[in-house]
Structure 1
Amino acid sequence: MHSRRDVLRTGAGVAGTGMLAALAGCSDVPVVGSFFGFDYTEWVYDPDTLDSDSVTVFLMNVETILGADKVPNKGDLRDQITSNYSDELVADDVKYSLNVGSTEVLTGSFDGKGIVDGMGFDGDGSHGDFDLYTDDNEEGAVIATDGEFLIRTSTLEYDTAREEIELLIDTYNGDADRFADVNDDFGQVQGEVDTDTYVFITGQTDSAAEDADNQTVVTTAITADIDGNETTGTYHLLYASEDGVDLDQAESDIESELSEDAELTDISQDGRLVTAKFTTPTEDF
């Protein structure tokens, strides 16, 4: 689980959000509103339930990215999407890939049960409308599907994996608190997101944010939207206190994080929130 009370500060902390790794398509970077047709906030649980200080959320509109002419390394993306499943899963059948904490949620036109049947996993009961499966040869891996969604989590401990996947399902079903409903910081930042192509959000719990210094960025969103040869990106950085915002320093930090061909086009402050917009060639995405 993610427990990063001391990260996401200005200076090195802004670079620590992993913007360059994200734009490079890094699969280790462990998403927006309901008007996109896939409301990620329905899945994002309150990390405090798992005794974690924070939660990281990462969404890709796989259909849009694979359909964009100028996006490079599509084969790598297809491999990343399908590598943990049977050959029954085809990347072009996946519309969205969502990561919440240690768990991945896929949705699209595939048959979730058919994919799991081809993996040799054993049935392990159910939770809500989802059938659960485990693999004796892969300790800590749990898969769930209701046919429409395919959910997979893998941690060092089976009990931890099962706890997270069940919490995710409960959150989706409205039987557990959604982070956007109980954490005003996360709710404020995710409300600023206006794309579903590529979104990375990380937010701290209220208790962690209470201990933060004024200059700590307690919630971060990084987005990218593809428009032909150009990709437009946005940082949303919510600081613990308005007094901790140094706009010049934030601008310098973000510029140092961007690639050589990227350009910071605007940066502004609204209370505790800093918003920075940039462009980069889609071929660098």
Structure 2
Amino acid sequence: MNKDTGTISSNKWIVSERGKKNTVDFNRPYAWLVEKERSRSGKVEDTAIIFLTNKECPFKCLMCDLWKNTTDQPVPTGAIPEQIKWALNQMPSAKHIKLYNSGSFFDEKAIPVGDYEEIAVLLQGFETVIVEAHPKLISEKCLSFRDMLKPRLEVALGLETIHPEVLPKLNKGMTLEDFEKAVGFLSQNNISSRAFILLRPPFLSEEEGILWAEKSIDFAFETGIECCTVIPVRVGNGAMERLEEMGHFQIPKITSLEKVLEYGIQLQKGRVFADLWDVSLFSNCERCLEARTNRMNMMNLNQTIGEMISCDCE
């Protein structure tokens, strides 16, 4: 890692590289969808995902582009339940639901505590509710929300990487001890957790990106995480484009995502998924892209390693 990378882990630099935010309506989620996911029970079931519109996360992570669909001010009380209600009326029924919100569910400026009860009522027909939160914002609020819910609560936490030099440079404002503490608190209170793990964050080579993603999966399961999602890092937030120009970042290869997914599944310590959103960005080969995408999708759903794809692009 070069010495000149120290200044690119500050809020000021990261924000200065951004473009404009998208126009959003605080009474509407900015997106929603239903996807199939393998549940803890081993069944492949529909999972609803609502991307809530709310105030931007207080943490300015180097690789994050979720700020694009956020507000500058907290949304008024009642807006989040209204968004959920509207989205549920648009989508087909599902057994599980993810409330993703471009930040932390337990950040009071993102999701008003006063809305918890109404949210819980809206979600009573689901089996599982999954929310996202920064590890340093895990607190008694989690227990209050859990106690209001009829479904089982699960919390998704960004581990990102356990690389000792890269994690601080991501400007996440978190240590591995913070992560372990958060997972421990949730586990002690019968709340399961999943981890987001980055494939090839900035400052790592392709080989290092694979190695440290695998090490991060190991660490996540050792702390008590039940499920890991591997996310290949992409450009699109301004800062990542600049890092690419500076030679500090290149997007990972689709074959690297395959390797890390295979590694995680063969551990048999918990579910491991590959994030396949816009997966074509990571492939330069039209001949094997569809086959590799289908293979990883089946591995996600079956949690078994499918037949290897052979292509001379490797």
Instruction: Give the alignment's TM-score, normalised by structure 1.
Output: 0.26
Highest RCO, 1 vs 2 (Cα 8 Å, sep ≥ 6): 1
Instruction: Give the alignment's TM-score, normalised by structure 2.
Output: 0.24
Q: Which has the higher strand share?
A: 1
